[in-house]
Amino acid sequence: MKKVVIGMSGGVDSSVAAILLKKQGYEVIGLFMRNWDSTINNDILGNPTLSNDICPQEEDYNDAIKVCEKLEIPLYRVDFVKEYWDYVFMYFLDELKKGRTPNPDIMCNKYIKFDMFAKEAKRLGADFIATGHYARIKDGKLLRGIDDNKDQTYFLSQLSREQLKDVIFPVGELTKKEVRTIALEYDLITATKKDSTGICFIGERNFTKFLKNYLPNQPGVIKDIETNKILGEHTGLMYYTIGQRKGLNIGGSDQKIFVVGKDLENNILYVASGDENNYLYSDEALIDTVNWISKTKPTNCTAKFRYRQKDISVSLEFTTDNNIIVKYPDLAKAVTPGQACVFYNNDECLGGGIIKEVRKNGQKVKYL
């Protein structure tokens, strides 16, 4: 009997994944990853621990225990707090300091879930590892999950073919509704549990208050990029992303106002008004940290510049330094440095990289 070690997160997706693996005849072992310690991490930089900062992972661990007990599978626990801090959270902070908008979930998958976790699973004798991701693997190709609304291949785009070689994604063939139905049939405690959101493993928090523990708060002015008029004050450039409309606290305008740029040197947040203002659109982006899952590298495909975005048609120009110039003449909105650009050929996720520079008409977009 083949042995599968599955990452049990305390959520409904990994719970049902474990059920499906058992039904398929595998010997299933659960492994819970502890990647964040509020008491330790809040004090690493000499900052006081927040008295009400209770890590949600303990609740998730207790739920994972109850699920594994019900399914009669063993559950182990492994601590990756230091590794998560070194490889994911420091990356997250460094990107914010640069005024970029990072995606820590992608790096968590690359360095923790499919590296550290996989090594621990092998020590437990695993033939395969499994997670509750909505994705599929067929003939060595990474494919989108059946549920378009839950597909998570975007977050797996930095994985190598080697990392995906012995991976099973049991819920990739199901919709979220079907997953919850199965969990209800088994009367699992996670059946109606709310999906986790927020920063990977850190959970839902007041983002501004949370980051104050790690990065100094530097308020500055908000300016209209066209008139240079001061419209208000920002709480720190790191708290804003390109295209953001909510939370700007700017009154006195009948039009929608969007974040369109950051001047790091002068600590200015630039905004522009109007639903379709030109400052949010670009036709080209430079992509670095490129990772290919596919064995082929097409010059034409589709791409996503953020998770919830619909695919857009792009052409790829490969540079001598292993970067890619992605061109999209039909224009795209709010392409943001630091976010992932992920390439697709129909259902296949080809790989992706990180947006380094955004351009329009051959020129770098100002303040991006």
Residue positions annotated with a catalytic role: 108, 200
Distance, in Å, from the CA atom of 161 to the CA atom of 145, rounded to the nearest integer, reads: 18
Which tokens sit at 368?
């991006």
What lies within 8 Å, CB to CB, of 359 at 6+ separation is 282, 283, 284, 285, 286, 365
Which tokens sit at 313?
């048609």
344 three-class SS: strand
Distance, in Å, from the CA atom of 270 to the CA atom of 225, rounded to the nearest integer, reads: 5
Q: For residues 354 and 321, is the Cβ–Cβ distance under 8 A?
A: no
- Bridge pairing between strands 27-34 and 3-7: parallel
Cα separations in angstroms, 22 against 1, 2, 249: 11, 11, 52
Distance, in Å, from the CA atom of 197 to the CA atom of 140, rounded to the nearest integer, reads: 30
Region of 347 please: left (phi>0), alpha (psi -120 to 50) or beta.
alpha
Of 39, 64, 65, 32, the residue nearest 53 (C-alpha): 39
Of 35, 188, 60, 41, the residue nearest 117 (C-alpha): 35
């947006």: which residue's tokens? Answer: 355
Which tokens sit at 248?
């700007």
Question: What DSSP line would sit under 87-99, residue for residue?
Answer: IIIHHHHHHHHTT
Region of 338 please: left (phi>0), alpha (psi -120 to 50) or beta.
left
Distance, in Å, from the CA atom of 145 to the CA atom of 137, rounded to the nearest integer, reads: 9
Distance, in Å, from the CA atom of 335 to the CA atom of 355, rounded to the nearest integer, reads: 8
Distance, in Å, from the CA atom of 263 to the CA atom of 237, rounded to the nearest integer, reads: 9
